Structure 1
Amino acid sequence: MKTPPPFALHLRPATPDDDAFLFTLYASTREQQLAAWGWTPAQGEPFLRMQYQAQARHYAAKHPPEGHAIIERDGAAVGRQWLVRTPAELLLVDVALLPSQRGAGLGTHLLNAMQAEAARARVPMRLHVTRDNPALRLYTRHGFTPVPGSDPASPYLELQWWAPEGDSGTGVR
């Protein structure tokens, strides 16, 4: 039996009151990119706000809100997860953690839970990730593979995961 993680994670529905946190989280995912461009925070903020709002509108228009959740650790917001559940698949639209929470096993814990859910439902799990995203290593370690026919010129990889034969999602991998 696996030892439980040394933290208490809770998912709760995202609400409009979470907008400031979600912007901060989004901006944290773009810090390296802005630094590479040599932009100061003052230069980057208008760009980040525009990009954040475009992403928020796109996700809201394309995906049902039921799967949009705030990840809380010990009662504090530390990330977000947007998981779309259909009879045919689980689609991980987005998962992000604050920089202070990365590398502590939270992503693995969340991914294990999503994979167990997909295994119980007997559906694949699918996601898109940029080719330079450090999370790509996490996904490949957890058995995600490129979807055949993916465009090699695209900056995004479409990945999928199927539960191994006989895995009904009753145990954590």
Structure 2
Amino acid sequence: MFLYARGVGPDYIAALEAFARATIAAYRQGLSLDRLKLELIANRKLTGNAALDANLAFDPEELGVRDLWLRLIYLTLELAGEAPPGEPLASPDPSADETGVEMLVEGVIRAHRDGYTLDSFKFELAFEGRQIEDPEQAALFSQWLRIIFMCLQLREEDNLEADDQNV
């Protein structure tokens, strides 16, 4: 609820960026999405204190959120043209994805290629009347857009750095 009241701040952006960078690195190192999820569960840090370990463990809802974040980043990289590690996540018909995540990622990639930023894309959606009334759902949708745009921006930065190193 804190995020809804105060908005996105630098600590939130930094944490999300660290998550995105680590996920991009895992993708590029060849870890499939399923393998990455297993690695995260298997390598969970345990303190030896049962109460503390229970508090540090993700509940099923938090695991679902992280799974979606990972899927957003993997789909973004795949649909932006990077070869997927393992089986492709994207389907031949993105409209067949009942969650709508593939179509969302494709739409954001198109918007990014057309020069939109996160803020200008959100403004465009609002201008077109495509807003979500429920504040919690709107915050989640905004978060998903942020993750996809951030992934695309980090990918661009990596490509620019690689180009600079090759000069």
TM range (shorter): under 0.3
The structure with the largest strand share of the pair is: 1
Q: Which structure exhibits the higher relative contact order, with contacts defined as CA atoms closer than 8 Å and separated by 6 or more residues?
A: 2
The structure with the largest helix share of the pair is: 2
- Give the TM-score normalised by structure 1: 0.26
